[in-house]
Structure formats: C-alpha cells, structure tokens
A = this chain, B = another copy of it.
Amino acid sequence: MKNYKMTSVKNEARAELHDALGLTGAEISINCLPMGASVPFEHSHKQNEEIYAILEGAGRAVIDGECVELKAGDWLKIEPSAKRRFFAANDRAIKYICIQVKSNSLEEYTTGDAVIEQ
C-alpha cells in the first residue's frame, strides 16, 4: 500500500483533487477562466476558509463588495463568511488554485508536527 497518490493537471477549465488524491484535510481545485469570464455566482462558506493562489494571468476578486486586483504570485486567504466572486481580466485569462480547509483545524505544523529522520 503506497503512502502517496499522484495526479497531473494540465489546462482543464477546472480540476478537483479531493477524490483524485484521496485528500482528507482539504479540497483543492485548479481553475482557468478565459479572458472576460467569471465564476457565474458569488458565494461564501459555512465553516471553510479558502486560500487562493494566482498561477498565471490576471483578474480580480470582489470580496464583500471590495474589488481586489490579482496577478500571478498573489495569495489570498478569505474568511468563511466573506462573499466572493472571481473574474478574469477583460484582456487576459487567469489560472488559480483554490484550497478549502476547515477553519481552526490546524494544530501543530512544520517543526511542531514534523519528525526529522537522522
């Protein structure tokens, strides 16, 4: 029984990893919006915080009515209750990762959770 799972993501409009990788602590999606396109609705969450990473291109998020410009290399953490909607720029596509995790679920991490092998 292998202790890992692997998949490869190309340029799908949306790839979801929870089932593909057997994730138990997160759902992760990789999303591509063509230029001028947007997610067709605004949403919030009940208990999950979302972390977004912009991989390529540019666009904007509207978060609780505030417009936030986005470019490659930007990372955002959005509280569960915030109302959010993502848009590609009018002249450029955007590719981004969305990571959903349960708020306040992390206990120890990095040196607090790792076991370094000698």
The proximity string for A residues 95-118 relative to B, scoring 1 for CB distances below 8 Å and 0 otherwise, is 001011111111111100111110
Question: Could you give 29 example pairs across A and B, Cβ below 8 Å?
Answer: A2-B64, A3-B64, A3-B81, A4-B63, A6-B77, A8-B71, A8-B75, A10-B73, A20-B75, A23-B51, A23-B106, A24-B106, A25-B49, A25-B101, A26-B51, A28-B51, A43-B114, A43-B116, A44-B115, A45-B114, A46-B108, A46-B115, A47-B113, A53-B97, A83-B117, A100-B110, A101-B105, A102-B107, A105-B106
Say whether B26 contacts A99, CB under 8 Å.
yes
> A residues within 8 Å of B by Cβ?
2-10, 16-18, 20-28, 41-49, 51, 53, 55, 63-64, 66, 68, 71, 73-79, 81-84, 97, 99-110, 113-117
The 3 closest A-B pairs by CB, nearest first: A25-B101, A3-B82, A105-B105
Contact present for A4 and B76 (CB under 8 Å)? yes
Cβ of A84 to closest chain B Cβ, rounded Å: 8
